[in-house]
Chain A
Amino acid sequence: MRYGVGPEVLHDVNFALAPGSFHFLVGPSGAGKSSLLRLMYLAHRPSRGLITLFDRDIATTPRHELPELRRKIGVVFQEFRLLDHLSVLDNVALPLRVAGMGEKQIRDYAEELLSWVGLADHMQARPAILSGGQKQRVAIARAVISRPKLLLADEPTGNVDDKIALRLLYLFEELNKLGTTIVIATHNEALISRFGHSQLHLENGEISVRAATKRGA
């Protein structure tokens, strides 16, 4: 994969994720973790190579069918990407609205999820007034509200303290137990060793897989 006419950011990256698996995506800064995630959540098309998602070859899937695939993917962005002009509730509800779900059901789901992530008192607040940790939880709630089959998170614990980071990881594990495949890009060695899931190690544009270790916690 390359951006425009720039150098290849990723090359010879081969891996397959088993449904319901949990992985940490690790590697030094600039190794291409975010680029790999962008390919996986279909924000970019590869300049060469093959991506198969949910048994569909992305290169041959018609463009108008891609939104349906994207709805099966939840993304937690490093910089949250919350919409400041919408309330917390509307931010979380966004994937369901896009999917065309009824307003009543959307509200019920969003309220329930926000209560679960501890933001029941902030449903009508604007994201701008929230703390980093609260924004992180809103971003996660938005990513998981549509029960995605694949959850991709880019440094989801980068802006929160260790206690909240741990809680977020447990939340991801809960989701994983329900069948969602999880890929978390992180630098947090303590969490990686604590949870011991398999690691996709990305360096110099190439990837290697390290098997899961025995759980440290």
Chain B
Amino acid sequence: MFGLFESRSDLPLRTDASRRFLPWLVALNVYLAALALAGLMALGDAVSAWDKGLTGSMTVQIPAPVSKDGDRINDNAPRVARALELLRAQPGVAAANALSRSEMAALMEPWLGSAGGLVAELPLPALIDVQLRDSAGINAEGLQSVLAAAVPGATVDDHKKWLDRLLLLIHSVELVAAAVVLLVAGAAIATVIFITRTGLSLHQDVISLLHVIGAQDDYIAKQFQSQALALGIKGGAIGFLLAALTLGGLGLLAGRLGSQFLPPLSLGPLQWLLLAGLPLAVALIGMATARFTVMRTLARLP
């Protein structure tokens, strides 16, 4: 079927050894680029999900009060109620709700399992989820000072520190993934240049004959670029198929683990479409590279 992409050629490019290994080199490049790009997109989704979930919200932590001799006092409810009252009175606060025991148990589940009784036994602090109005202008320090006097020991976390560190890590990983995509594109271009130059050198006699009988450089370049496009599409399709299988397998494994620890690794239809465009993009880059290489070389002929 890939013969459809190749036009009739005066140059015996079909017999070149490069024809056998170029598709596999392109396949490898597309495979690596697809994995890197998929990782890039999945991380991007995770970052925006975390960012969206945590921006505009704060978490207030009310530790259980302890007696002077260090014994734990279980009843934290009055302190929580006082904190809720104060928080809800703030103009910038849209909502403030204490997390129930079952919600706390769900949060602890990845670490402690689903045994709800254990959570009840632990001296866990009470947590209040605070949702802020869009233009609230409230910061964690401001809220903390409001609560400090009425509810000693209460702390306010706007997740900024954690989120900033996480974002720094993820952006670093994104940069590495983007660098991989660029390196792979560079490797693909270098491969096509090398193979095209080899072809030019191998078929020097035929090219010189075509030149003498009046072929424009474009006529000769088209034969090289058609071959590069056909082989690029063939290799790209193989690479994409392998990458899709790998991503599918990884998604399946991640699904089995449960998603509490991992960001969502599945890709949306648009992202799959973008990935599917990768082999075509690589093939087009290969075609343009082949054309540029041939035109540059032929320009040296009289």
Seen from chain A, the residues whose Cβ lies within 8 Å of a Cβ on chain B are 41-45, 63-64, 66-71, 75, 81, 83, 85-86, 90, 94-95, 97-99, 142
Contacts and interface: CB of A to CB of B under 8 A. Distances in A.
A151 B208 CA distance: 18
A75 B302 contact: no
A66 B212 CA distance: 10
Of residues A68, A75, A95, A98, which shows the largest number of chain B Cβ atoms within 10 Å of its Cβ? A98
Given A44-B302, A45-B302, A66-B302, A83 B213 contact: no
The 3 closest A-B pairs by CB, nearest first: A71-B214, A70-B214, A85-B12
A98 B205 contact: no
Contact of B215 (A67, A69, A90, A142): A67
Contacts, number: 50
A98 B302 contact: no
Interface string B202-225: 000110111111111001000000
A85 to B, nearest CB: 4
A97 B215 CA distance: 9
Contacts of A71: 213-214
Given A94-B10, A98-B219, A70 B15 contact: no
A69 B205 CA distance: 21
Nearest to A145: B213
A113 B12 CA distance: 25
A111 to B, nearest CB: 18
A42 B299 CA distance: 14
Contact of A99 (B205, B214, B299): B214
Central interface residue in B10, B12, B214, B219, by most chain A CB within 10 Å: B214
Contacts of A85: 12, 15
Nearest to B210: A98
A43 B215 CA distance: 12
Contacts of B211: 43, 70
Contacts of B208: 43
17 contacts: A43-B212, A44-B302, A67-B215, A70-B211, A70-B212, A71-B213, A71-B214, A83-B12, A90-B10, A94-B210, A94-B213, A95-B213, A95-B214, A98-B213, A98-B214, A98-B219, A99-B214
A73 to B, nearest CB: 8
Contacts of A75: 212-213
Contacts of A66: 302
Contact of A98 (B12, B15, B215, B299): B215
A91 B281 CA distance: 36
A45 B301 CA distance: 10
Contact of A42 (B12, B205, B209, B212): B212
Contact of B302 (A43, A83, A95): A43
B224 to A, nearest CB: 16
